[in-house]
């Protein structure tokens, strides 16, 4: 007999993985250039050359130490460089001991959920949302409370939010720029959220922590701004990753930042570290702690994502698709052309378009297009989107 929850997770059907596998089979049948796979969020631009050069230089210069264990919370100098970088950008005064280096945002989130969750606690999440939140929150023994999507702009349905908060609310998760909508929360949205959280924390007599999951922080289009959330709400814990900004998803490197402004910040930090220990993370990869911290002021050439969005969004709208304007990341979340997004995704396959149904993101009636692909592929896919739309006329 094995753990039934784990068995369920390990054998569950993954729509994204199935689409990806289907894409490979189809590519063998009709040629890879004729399959338009928009299913995966893998960055399409390489990391900056300096990242590779730095890795090679470190391997050459420090061969005896670079493969050793580091402190569990990460190398002190690396953490200091992360702090210095944010301090330069946001005028903050973070210190190395507020950073806990992790194996990517997924691990950052798991450490925070496990570090915070007590029996009976609830974590509030806004749809559309990154589906792993549910797995991570339930894995931490807590309950996820899902707020339905505000489908006109994918900001926040504040009435539903206020109704969902209770004395059991430990924390609220935000993700902006967002996967899967590509939407950036406006300053107004974040200020209103912050005001409600401040009031509710006071009313219930305990802090409601805001967890800002921000792997797409650097992928922001012209005309949009991503406010530094801890400056708006002091009880913010930041989960960051270099997977997207430096195109390093396979290297598994990110961090948790617990600013001093967080209530009981040292206790929270220690609990995050304890969670990392209990999850067996030991420490994040030593080489890439050094590489990312030495290159954390750089990004890949992220402009391509905005170019792709500028090509895709007006073209799809012209064809009759309803799309909320993305402000960053590399996802678009149009309405499906029939209420059943699963059926719509199936129909799209007939045109060799691989689109992920929105139901898995908590927003039925939509599909996710991950446009982190070559621009040329988008150009070639447009007639297929048109044919798909025409098939509904």
Binding residues for ligand PLP (CB under 6 A): 41, 104-106, 130, 175, 179, 213, 215, 241, 243, 249, 254
Closest distance between ligand PLP and the C-beta of residue 362, in Å?
A: 13
The nearer residue to ligand PLP, 104 or 230, going by C-beta atoms, is: 104
- DSSP-assigned beta bridge partners for residue 210: 172, 236
Task: Pick the closer one to ligand PLP by CB: 130 or 385.
Answer: 130
State the minimum distance, in angstroms, from the CB of residue 113 to ligand PLP: 12
- Tell me which residue has tokens 């988008």: 378
- How far apart are alpha carbons 207 and 235 in whole angstroms? 7
Smallest gap from Cβ 47 to ligand PLP, in A, equals: 14
Our CB check for ligand PLP shows the closer of 130 and 185 to be 130
Q: 304 or 388: whose CB is closer to ligand PLP?
A: 304
Residue 110 Cβ vs ligand PLP, minimum distance, rounded to whole Å: 9
As a whole number of angstroms, the distance between CA 48 and CA 301 comes to: 8
Distance between CA 46 and CA 66 in Å, rounded?
24
What backbone torsions phi and psi does residue 45 show, to the nearest 5 degrees?
-110, 145
Nearer to ligand PLP, 172 or 337 (CB): 172
The least distance separating ligand PLP from the CB of residue 243, rounded to whole angstroms, comes to 4
Least separation, in Å, of the C-beta of 175 and ligand PLP? 5
Which CB, 241 or 308, lies closer to ligand PLP? 241
CB of 199 to ligand PLP, least distance (A): 27
What is 311-327 written as a DSSP string?
A: HHHHHHHHTT---PPP-
Q: Measured between alpha carbons, how far apart are the two ends of the chain, in Å?
A: 53
Residue whose CB is less far from ligand PLP, 38 or 351: 38
**Least Å distance between CB 180 and ligand PLP?**
8
Spatial separation of the C-alpha atoms in residues 116 and 169, rounded to whole Å: 11
SS3 assignment, position 360: helix
Which residues lie below 8 Å from residue 296, measured CB to CB, with a gap of 6+? 81, 82, 85, 242
CB of 91 to ligand PLP, least distance (A): 26
Query: How many Cα atoms sit within 13 Å of 175 on the Cβ side?
Result: 26
Residue 337 or 357: the one with the smaller Cβ distance to ligand PLP is 357
Helix segments in the chain, DSSP class H: 4-11, 15-30, 49-61, 76-90, 104-116, 132-139, 158-164, 187-204, 229-232, 265-278, 286-294, 303-318, 341-349, 375-390
Look at residues 312, 391, 317 and name the one whose alpha carbon lies nearest to residue 347.
391
Query: Phi and psi (nearest 5°) for 344?
Result: -65, -40
In terms of CB distance, is 241 or 286 closer to ligand PLP? 241
């Amino acid at each position: 007999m094995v753990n039934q929850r784990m068995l369920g997770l390990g054998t569950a059907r993954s729509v994204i993985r199935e689409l990806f596998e289907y894409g490979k089979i189809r590519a063998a049948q009709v040629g890879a250039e004729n399959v338009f796979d928009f299913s995966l969020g893998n960055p399409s631009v390489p990391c900056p050359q300096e990242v590779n050069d730095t890795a090679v230089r470190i391997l050459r210069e420090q061969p005896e130490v670079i493969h050793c264990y580091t402190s569990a919370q990460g190398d002190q100098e690396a953490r200091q460089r992360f702090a210095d970088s944010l301090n330069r950008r946001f005028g903050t005064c973070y210190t190395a001991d507020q950073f806990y280096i992790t194996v990517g945002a997924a691990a950052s989130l798991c450490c925070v959920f496990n570090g915070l969750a007590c029996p009976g606690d609830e974590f509030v999440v806004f749809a559309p949302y990154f589906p792993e939140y549910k797995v991570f929150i339930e894995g931490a023994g807590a309950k996820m409370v899902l707020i339905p999507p505000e489908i006109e702009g994918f900001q926040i349905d504040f009435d539903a939010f206020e109704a969902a908060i209770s004395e059991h609310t430990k924390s609220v998760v935000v993700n902006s720029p967002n996967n899967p909508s590509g939407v950036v929360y406006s300053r107004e949205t974040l200020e209103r959220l912050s005001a409600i959280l401040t009031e509710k924390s006071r009313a219930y007599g305990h802090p409601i922590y805001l967890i800002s999951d921000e792997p797409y922080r650097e992928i922001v289009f012209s005309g949009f701004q991503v406010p530094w959330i801890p400056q708006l709400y002091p009880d913010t814990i930041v989960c960051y990753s270099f997977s997207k900004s430096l195109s390093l998803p396979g290297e598994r490197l990110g961090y948790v930042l617990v600013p001093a402004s967080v209530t009981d910040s040292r206790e929270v930090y220690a609990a995050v570290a304890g969670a990392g220990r209990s999850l067996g993370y030991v420490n994040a990869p030593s080489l890439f702690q050094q590489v990312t911290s030495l290159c954390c002021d750089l990004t890949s050439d992220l402009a391509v994502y905005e170019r792709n969005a500028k090509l895709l969004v007006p073209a799809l709208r012209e064809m009759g698709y309803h799309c909320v304007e993305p402000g960053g990341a590399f996802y678009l979340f149009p309405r499906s052309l029939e209420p059943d997004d699963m059926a719509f995704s199936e129909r799209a396959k007939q045109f060799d378009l691989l689109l992920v149904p929105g139901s898995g993101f908590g927003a039925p009636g939509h599909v996710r297009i991950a446009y982190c692909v070559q621009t040329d592929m988008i150009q070639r896919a447009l007639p297929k989107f048109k044919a798909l739309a025409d098939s509904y006329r």
